Amino acid sequence: MNDRLSAQYWLHEKELTAYSSEAVRDRRRSAMERFEAVGFPTVRDEDWKYSSLKPVLAPHYGLRPPCAPLEDEHLEYKDIKRFLVNELDSYRVVFLNGRYSSWLSDTTHRGFDVCTLSAAWKKYPETIDRYFAQLTENLGPLAQLNTALAWDGLYVVVPDNVVVDRPIQVLSFTTGTEPLATQIRNLVVLGVNAQAEIIERHQSLSDHPTWTNAVDEAYLAAGAQLRWVKLQHDAPEASLTQHTRIQQARDSRAQVNTISTGGRFIRNNLDFVLQEPGADARMLGLTLAKGKQLVDHHTLVDHQAAHCTSHENYKGIYDDGSKGVFNGRIYVHEDAQKTDAYQQNANLVLHERAEVNTKPQLEIFADDVKCSHGCTVGQLDEDALFYLRARGIKEPEARALLMLAFAEDALAGIDHPSLNAKLHKLIAGKLGVDLTLDL
Amino acid sequence: MLEIKNLHASIGDKEILRGVNLTVKPGEVHAIMGPNGSGKSTLSSVIAGREDYEVTSGDILWDGQSILELAPEQRAHLGLFLSFQYPVEIPGVSVSNFVKTALNAVRTARGEEPLDASAMLKKMREALQLLEMDKGFLSRSLNEGFSGGEKKRNEIFQMAMLEPRLAILDETDSGLDIDALRIVAQGVNGLRSPKASFVVITHYQRLLDYIVPDVVHVLYKGRIVKTGDKTLAQDLEVRGYDWIKKEVE
């Protein structure tokens, strides 16, 4: 696999970098060289101790030529409708097997850009030069691989003081008659006081194993606001590795909700770099894992400046032989006085074979800060269960209700009623009970 | 309707109930009093079906049928209600959703149609009124951040919604000030009928000034050692439990 990926780059470097500056080409080239030097991470790497990539890399994946457009692959709107939040008036950027599908998309350049990276290479080379791979240089080999081979993904650039008027739904579908590996690269640049909201979903429609390796870079200028909902409810044979890195200037706010309920293997790296005072980062996660699913969350809040705040709350419910990893790193630099950082990771383990490895990792070099963290691993509260049953609620429903209640606060901050309702329904469905929650 | 026969129950190796006999007829209000540790709360938990306790001998009959093998929810479906001494806080579940889920679960189990939204809301309003509660209460998370008085009122609110045939009020008066006590009692009295029975478990006579019992029992060391009318409760208030302990030993 390593050789095939490496060959892809060197064979196609010219096309991949055709419209780019030398600097961008060098970034890609050195990313590939770095990937070649270390290869895929293994469980011997501290960061991958509990999550073996072996099963993800085992299938013989087909690789599409990196820059080729969509050819005979085709999807109709009716095929994808159920994966959208339909009630939501939104921009839509749809990818199929790692390639932009204009047929299914609804993009814009009016006042701001909501389009694709594949178009941006040629159209906006200066922006690419300024932002592409500037946050990812020191990340792990999977991100390097993506930097080298990236061709398509979401491209959002919003000028100062502009609010993107509708949420952006970005969907990446995988289809086909063989295992397929794809790279997705998303770039988001928000100007001063700009605002945008993204709803992201990766979805395999194939019966074969798929592996999506994605990287997101987001730049928030002063006062900018970004909300990002990551809905990871993929097919049973799908694997996702994704590194999201968000850099925040003064008084900017970023919130990421990650809902991981489907797929065979999920590895999320989520980094916030708080560069200037007043920046605020919020991350909420909900994992519901069953069967042999593995969900690994590695988060990092890099408090570089004073007076920044971060709030992190991850919940997980693990059943059967599923496995969870939570590694929450908070790094407070010497100058980052008055930092206010909160981290919480709570897990329910429903089966004796299920496993959760949770590790808070706080490195604090400033002396005037408020940092708190906690993690719990437990079972459902028997007193609560008896209380519900004594009111006539049957045991399975009572369990589901308690799990739903446990999960509830991970959906905080999702204000669109239709999205919220969809997520609730999905979660209740995953818990095996159809609860009608509204009165 | 409820008949408890020589009930023995233990938790772990410890026997807590040691031969309880009690018969409650429709429409009756029974008070069970007793010093701390006499087994009052265990008795209510065992009747409601809490699985932590093992019934080692004896029986609990409901309309002449044993309910020992029934799950807590099945007992609730028959019309049994337990007002908890310590109601559990469940963040994320609103009072209205919880009560709606419970009531419809009970109705469905009895082969009745679930109530539609407007009928449900109407019923909730009536129950709220009985307990002098505000509508905003419905959207709060179940018991989360409730004061002691609010928790107990919430229990009686649920009872009013579920309209049980037999309700056990486990120390419903504990932690209540006199106003809250009056409101809770008013709620209970509003639900008294020739068909509804109550078992009021309490440490003090105070509550029984408001909810006047037909029969008063004293539970001590896992047995009912004395039974009388409401004057027994008044006696206990004046003389304490020591004379009973002496009588027994």
- Indicate whether A435 pLDDT > 70: no
Question: What is the number of structural domains in chain A?
Answer: 2
Domain borders along chain B are 2-248
pLDDT band at B6 (very low <50, low <70, confident <90, very high): very high
- Indicate whether A436 pLDDT > 60: no
Q: Considering chain A, what is the average pLDDT of its residues?
A: 93
Q: Is residue A309 part of a domain?
A: no
How far apart, in whole angstroms, are the C-alpha atoms of residue A72 and residue A32?
Answer: 29
CATH of B2-248, one of 3.40.50.300, 1.10.8.60, 1.20.1300.10, 3.40.50.11540: 3.40.50.300
For residue A428, what pLDDT is reported?
Answer: 79
For residue B93, what pLDDT is reported?
Answer: 84
Q: Of the ranges A19-28, A307-316, A413-422, B126-135, which one carries the lowest mean pLDDT score?
A: A413-422
| Cβ neighbours, 10 Å, residue A396 | 11
pLDDT band at A412 (very low <50, low <70, confident <90, very high): confident
Q: Of the ranges A3-7, A30-34, A174-178, which one carries the lowest mean pLDDT score?
A: A174-178
pLDDT band at B231 (very low <50, low <70, confident <90, very high): very high
Express each pLDDT in A13-62 by its tens digit: 999 999 999 999 999 999 999 999 999 999 999 999 999 999 999 999 98
What is this model's ipTM?
Answer: 0.95
Residues A402-415: what's their mean pLDDT? 84
Give the global pTM. Answer: 0.87
Q: Which long-range contacts (CB under 8 A, 24 or more apart) does B63-69 make?
A: B63/B1, B64/B3
Any A CB within 8 A of B97 CB: yes
Residues A408-429: what's their mean pLDDT? 82
Q: Is residue A340 part of a domain?
A: no
Residue with tokens 């064979």: A11
Is pLDDT larger for residue A257 or for residue A68?
Answer: A257
| Cβ neighbours, 10 Å, residue B71 | 15
Q: Considering chain B, what is the average pLDDT of its residues?
A: 92
Chain B neighbors of A389, CB-CB under 8 A:
49, 71-73, 76
Is pLDDT larger for residue A103 or for residue B196?
Answer: B196
Considering the domain architecture, whether residues A127 and A268 belong to the same structural domain is answered as yes
Q: Is residue A431 part of a domain?
A: yes
Residue where a domain stops, chosen among A276, A302, A335: A276
Between chains, do A395 and B90 touch, taking CB under 8 Å as contact? Answer: no
Q: Is residue A26 part of a domain?
A: no
- Indicate whether A433 pLDDT > 70: no
Considering the domain architecture, whether residues A267 and A397 belong to the same structural domain is answered as no
Is residue A183 within 8 Å of A151, Cβ to Cβ?
yes
Residue where a domain stops, chosen among A220, A249, A276: A276
Q: Is residue A96 part of a domain?
A: yes
Residue of B87, B92, B121 lying closest to A439 (CB–CB): B121
Any B CB within 8 A of A409 CB: yes
Beta bridge partners of A213: A183, A241
Q: Is A189 helix (H, G, I), strand (E, B) or coil?
A: strand
Q: Is residue A332 part of a domain?
A: no
Any A CB within 8 A of B101 CB: yes
Residue where a domain stops, chosen among A257, A276, A295: A276
Q: Is residue A49 part of a domain?
A: no
Beta bridge partners of A229: A199, A257
For residue A176, what pLDDT is reported?
Answer: 87
pLDDT band at A268 (very low <50, low <70, confident <90, very high): very high
Chain B neighbors of A398, CB-CB under 8 A:
73
Express each pLDDT in A93-134 by its tens digit: 999 999 999 889 999 999 999 999 999 999 999 999 999 999
Residues B158-171: what's their mean pLDDT? 95
Any A CB within 8 A of B84 CB: yes
CA distance B144 to chain A (A): 12
- A230 is in which domain, residue-wise? 72-276
Residues B69-90: what's their mean pLDDT? 95
Q: Is residue A227 part of a domain?
A: yes
Pick the closest to residue A252 from A207, A201, A296, A189 (CA basis): A189
Express each pLDDT in B37-51 by its tens digit: 899 999 999 999 999
Any A CB within 8 A of B55 CB: no
Chain B neighbors of A383, CB-CB under 8 A:
88
CA distance A159 to chain B (A): 39
Cα separation values, A436 from A439, B97, B104, Å:
8, 9, 11
For residue A438, what pLDDT is reported?
Answer: 42
Between chains, do B101 and A386 touch, taking CB under 8 Å as contact? Answer: no
For residue B249, what pLDDT is reported?
Answer: 78
Any A CB within 8 A of B71 CB: yes
- Indicate whether A439 pLDDT > 60: no
Q: Is A190 helix (H, G, I), strand (E, B) or coil?
A: strand
Residue of A387, A392, A395 lying closest to B84 (CB–CB): A387
